[in-house]
């Protein structure tokens, strides 16, 4: 399974088991995720914001970005 995101901090927290003061409440939830990453069942990957397909569904984007991301997702109007 692949997790792609444009938030470097969230990817680092998921991938590296070091504890962060501001992320203590995530520790329990991330235990399984970190195990899956360690076992090779899942990996995380940084994706540039301009290539983040989720933005099409979660953000207000310009018509140009909308059309570009829609095409990358193989969606039709």
Chain-centre distance of CA 1, in angstroms?
12
pLDDT in tens, 63-74: 998 888 888 888
Computed over every residue of the chain, the mean pLDDT equals 76
Question: Between residues 13 and 42, which one has the greater pLDDT?
Answer: 42
Can you give the pTM of this predicted structure?
A: 0.50
Question: What is the H or E stretch that residue 69 is in?
Answer: helix 63-72
* Crossing angle for the helix pair 27-38 and 8-15, to the nearest 10 degrees: 70
* 28, pLDDT greater than 60: yes
Question: Between residues 10 and 53, which one has the greater pLDDT?
Answer: 53
* 22, pLDDT greater than 80: no
CB 30 within 8 A of CB 14: yes
Quick one: pLDDT band at residue 36, thresholds 50, 70, 90? confident
Per the listing, tokens 């329990």 go with 28
């Amino acid at each position: 399974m692949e997790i792609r995101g444009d938030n470097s901090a969230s990817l680092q927290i998921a991938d590296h088991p070091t504890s962060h003061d501001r992320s203590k409440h995530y520790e329990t939830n991330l235990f399984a995720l970190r195990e899956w990453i360690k076992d090779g069942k899942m990996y995380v990957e940084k994706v540039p914001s301009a290539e983040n397909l989720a933005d099409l569904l979660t953000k207000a984007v310009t018509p140009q970005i909308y059309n570009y991301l829609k095409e990358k997702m193989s969606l039709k109007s």
